[in-house]
Structure 1
Amino acid sequence: MPDSTLVNGMRNIALENVDISPDVVDMKNWLLLNKDIQTELDGAVHNIYNSKHDQAEKQFRSLRRRYPQHPMPYFLMGLSTWWKIMPSNVTNTIYDKTFFAYMDTAITKGERLYDIDNKNYEACFFLAAAYGFDARLHAERHDLRKATISSKRALDYLDKSKEANGLSPEFLLGQGLFNYYAAWISEEHPWLRPILLLFPKGNRQLGLQQIKSVADNGFYAGPEAKFFLMKILGSERENNSAAALQVARKLATEYPDNGYFERYYAMLCFNNGEHRKCEQVSLDILDKLNRGMPGYEGFSGRYATYYLGWLNQNKYKDSAKAKDYFQRCVVFSEATGQTGVGYYVHANYNLAKIAEEENNVSVARRYFQVVLEKAERKSDIYNEAKDYLKNRKLMKASSHQSNAIYSSDYPAKKLSAKARLSALDVRAAK
């Protein structure tokens, strides 16, 4: 049979469907594929995700001295800075200027390389990555205009670099993330639909497959891919908490001093009923927090104290310890501004239940009042708090009426026998 891929005697290959042939690209100066550089930076990349930023950045500065015109050392310095921001759920803004400066420099260096050679797919990779991280932080800071511009530029370079997918798994992460999130983001955030018209449609299943591939095979992008995979699998959309737990266990084992990974691991252990492991991890989190280790702050403490409070309340039946942990959870939540629906509300609810068991009405009312103000309307704990406060209000009113009957304004000698009996009935009911 004749070869249908031949056109005028030449083989016709669509580069968007197959991997690029390495012999058509000059890769001799690519640091991304340099095995010696990978060996050198193995420990540094590990240190980023294990919260040993000073050690990691020392090696990146050494790389920068040798390759001052390459985007890689600046991007890695920016990545290290990003993981200083992450433990605070990206609310810590003190590293913002440093982060943006590193990513801007990586972009400048990458664009210079791309201008020299528009087949420099390594430059495209770093440009897509730097613009992508820049967009992430601008989005977190609610600067939609800058986030949109950076996202569009990241996607442009992502499209240019896809021809080199077969050269390294690193190239695949950006495309995987775009494919996965673009496929459903308009459903979750309808207000973004006008902006999404600027972008092509995604493919959720393909995206998830690509992210898994990078998680298994990536060197520089592997840990970041595992992070996204853990979040995606544990989301309501994928609803695969057991699989998310396996990824979280790997991350927490490989990077034991990463506060974000460890608290997420504790959460998934708790959700999957691995209570003994959850307790162990939560105690480890509090120990590291008390020692002032980087990345361990009120956000991690909020998770750990809630789980320990719940375990002492429900598993060990130790109300005193449970109360202490729940109170600390409330303090951590208030200190970090995390007082919406979630651990803060449930910690107050559990403290109210403990106070109710101890017949401490004033304390129970105080905690139930917080639940009433913060919990979702029509939720079970909201309705319970509402009923408790309503009943206590009625009982208090009855008490005032009873006390009034026996006060000097109503001398006993003026009361009929029937009235005196009614007053006694009120007190008995109380």
Structure 2
Amino acid sequence: MAFILLGLRASGQTPDSALVDGMRNISLENIDVAPAAVDTKGWLLLDKDIQTELDGAVTNLYNSKHDQAEKQFRSLRRRYPQHPMPYFLLGLSQWWKIMPSNATNPLHDKLFFAYMDTAITKGERLYELDNKNYEACFFLAAAYGFDARLNAERHNLRKATVSSKRALDYLERSKEANGLSPEFLLGQGLFNYYAAWIADEHPWLRPILLLFPKGNRQLGLQQIRNVAANGFYTGPESKYFLLKILSSEKENNPAAALQVARQLNTAYPDNGYFERCYAMLSFNNGEFRKCEQVSLDILDKLNRGMPGYEGFAGRYATYYLGWLNFTKYKNKSKAKEYFQRCIVFSEVTDQMGPGYYVHANYNLARIADEEHNVAAARRYYQVVMEKAERKSDIYTEAREYLKTRRNLKANSGMRQSTEYSAGLERQPKANAKPQASQEGKGKFRQ
């Protein structure tokens, strides 16, 4: 399932060949015709009254109002204690507490795994009673999929692979219900999209991918769009994946990604993860006024201690505001303040790769040089030398600066001989492509 493929990409691990033994291949096809003679009585997923009841709860979940959402999910659990749905939703709430830190914060892991384990136990009991209970298969595939994703993030490759295989097994069993509701399509859409090309880009995954059916990238994207437009429970999650896909190097469609980010931010304005993606895509698409507005809103919510607004979001917002003040408003004082805060946020969150952290240091070096502060410029350029990619322009610039000033005393008042009248051309471009969930390769990443 796509959850492990995404997680394995993030973890950078190689597969354990021993996991291949004893696992059967699965043939996954697209079936979107409602099956005949399927008894859907008792299926909460298709119950319109339950949907109406949980409408506010789902909104609260994705709007980072977890206490309110969980209160409603626990109410559902009291009435349906043997159904996997309330446990899965409670686990999903824990997942979205983990997401704002790029899944690096393990504080909620134990409760997340407990809820997903319970959802699996309840789902398996329902499936044992009726092997045509495709709703049980849906929750089993989803719970195993999320379990695989977090285990991959935590570098538990064996557990992630086993859970992923089980997720795909139940996904195959539930495919006959695709025509009943768009909710059933998300897992298949994700797998179709990612499995179609990931083997070519990540050859080390091929031993694992031999266990899985071939994907269809275009069909997968179509299915994800369908769920994003029509899914009730899975709609927000589908839009999240659609946002990641459209803004990736593979699709390279930042304008379409910006539309999705705008929709998510409008629907869930207090979701720190969605809002920082909106700020980033506004920046990358050259919508600087909107980027500034969103970035200031992020910092305001961070200062108020709102859930989901932490150093990761602050790192994005302060860099954009520093860049705007430096390049657009020519306000060096504010620019320095924001770039310095970006460095602090990067250090606190241990995000000191060749992205925002390096470019914040680079811009501070340029400002220091313009202010004849050689000591500060040398200090910031030294960081660029240590962290930037060797083939990048900013690495070359830092190396040349430090080389020509090697024998100069700090604060000598001498200026760099090369003028920076064209320096803004070397500024990280506003239309730089957002990438995956970690920094690297000198580009701005989600």
1:197-346 alignment runs, 5 A limit? 197-346=210-359
Amino acid at match of 1:307: Y
Deviation at 1:20, TM superposition (A): 5.0
1:16–1:163 contact (8 Å) kept in structure 2: no
Distance in structure 2 (CA, Å) of the matches to 1:118 and 1:238 = 38
1:275-324 residue CA offsets vs partner (Å, 9 max, x unmatched): 00000000000000000000000000000000000000000000000000
Stretch moving more, 18-27 or 176-185: 18-27
Distance in structure 2 (CA, Å) of the matches to 1:189 and 1:310 = 34
1:16-51 residue CA offsets vs partner (Å, 9 max, x unmatched): 665454541111110000000000000000001000
Distance 1:94 1:306, change over 3 A: same
Amino acid at match of 1:62: S
Check if 1:180 corresponds to 2:206.
no
2:35–2:180 contact (8 Å) kept in structure 1: yes
2:34–2:176 contact (8 Å) kept in structure 1: no
Q: Secondary structure at the match of 1:32?
A: helix
Q: Secondary structure at the match of 1:170?
A: helix
- Structure with the bigger RCO (C-alpha within 8 Å, sep 6+) is 2
Deviation at 1:142, TM superposition (A): 1.2
Distance in structure 2 (CA, Å) of the matches to 1:193 and 1:377 = 31
Q: Secondary structure at the match of 2:334?
A: helix
Distance 1:21 1:249, change over 3 A: closer
> Tell me, which stretches of 5 or more residues in structure 1 are unaligned?
1-14, 400-430
Check if 1:373 corresponds to 2:386.
yes
2:354–2:389 contact (8 Å) kept in structure 1: yes
Residue in 2 that maps onto 1:73: 86
Amino acid at match of 2:385: L
| Higher normalized helix content (fraction of residues) | 1
Residue in 2 that maps onto 1:94: 107
Q: Secondary structure at the match of 1:95?
A: helix
Check if 1:84 corresponds to 2:97.
yes
Q: Secondary structure at the match of 2:405?
A: helix
Distance in structure 1 (CA, Å) of the matches to 2:249 and 2:288 = 22
2:119–2:143 contact (8 Å) kept in structure 1: yes
2:31–2:175 contact (8 Å) kept in structure 1: no
2:229–2:235 contact (8 Å) kept in structure 1: yes
- CA RMSD of superposed structures (Å): 1.4
Distance 1:16 1:300, change over 3 A: closer
| Residue correspondences, number | 384
Q: Secondary structure at the match of 2:128?
A: helix
Distance in structure 1 (CA, Å) of the matches to 2:391 and 2:34 = 60
Residue in 2 that maps onto 1:117: 130
Distance in structure 1 (CA, Å) of the matches to 2:163 and 2:285 = 38
1:269–1:277 contact (8 Å) kept in structure 2: yes
Match of 2:53 among 18, 40, 64: 40
1:352–1:367 contact (8 Å) kept in structure 2: yes
Q: Secondary structure at the match of 1:24?
A: coil
1:309–1:323 contact (8 Å) kept in structure 2: yes
Q: Secondary structure at the match of 2:46?
A: coil
Q: Secondary structure at the match of 2:214?
A: coil
Deviation at 1:242, TM superposition (A): 0.1
1:170–1:214 contact (8 Å) kept in structure 2: yes
Residue in 2 that maps onto 1:127: 140
Deviation at 1:188, TM superposition (A): 2.6
1:298–1:336 contact (8 Å) kept in structure 2: yes
Deviation at 1:80, TM superposition (A): 0.5
- TM-score, length-scaled by structure 2: 0.85
Residue in 2 that maps onto 1:419: none
1:90-143 residue CA offsets vs partner (Å, 9 max, x unmatched): 001010010000000000000000000000000000000000000110111111
Deviation at 1:195, TM superposition (A): 1.1
Residue in 1 that maps onto 2:169: 156
Distance in structure 1 (CA, Å) of the matches to 2:59 and 2:30 = 33
Deviation at 1:325, TM superposition (A): 0.2
Distance in structure 2 (CA, Å) of the matches to 1:17 and 1:236 = 26
Amino acid at match of 1:369: Q
Distance in structure 2 (CA, Å) of the matches to 1:17 and 1:181 = 15
Aligned sequence identity (%): 82
- TM-score, length-scaled by structure 1: 0.88
1:285–1:296 contact (8 Å) kept in structure 2: yes
* Structure of larger gyration radius: 1
1:168-219 residue CA offsets vs partner (Å, 9 max, x unmatched): 0000000000000111112232221111111111111100000000000000
> Tell me, which stretches of 5 or more residues in structure 2 are unaligned?
1-27, 413-446
Amino acid at match of 1:230: L
2:34–2:178 contact (8 Å) kept in structure 1: no
Residue in 1 that maps onto 2:159: 146
Q: Secondary structure at the match of 1:167?
A: coil
Check if 1:361 corresponds to 2:361.
no
Residue in 2 that maps onto 1:24: 37
1:49–1:258 contact (8 Å) kept in structure 2: yes
Distance in structure 1 (CA, Å) of the matches to 2:280 and 2:89 = 29
Distance in structure 2 (CA, Å) of the matches to 1:192 and 1:16 = 22
Distance in structure 1 (CA, Å) of the matches to 2:98 and 2:212 = 28
Q: Secondary structure at the match of 2:44?
A: coil
Q: Secondary structure at the match of 1:202?
A: coil
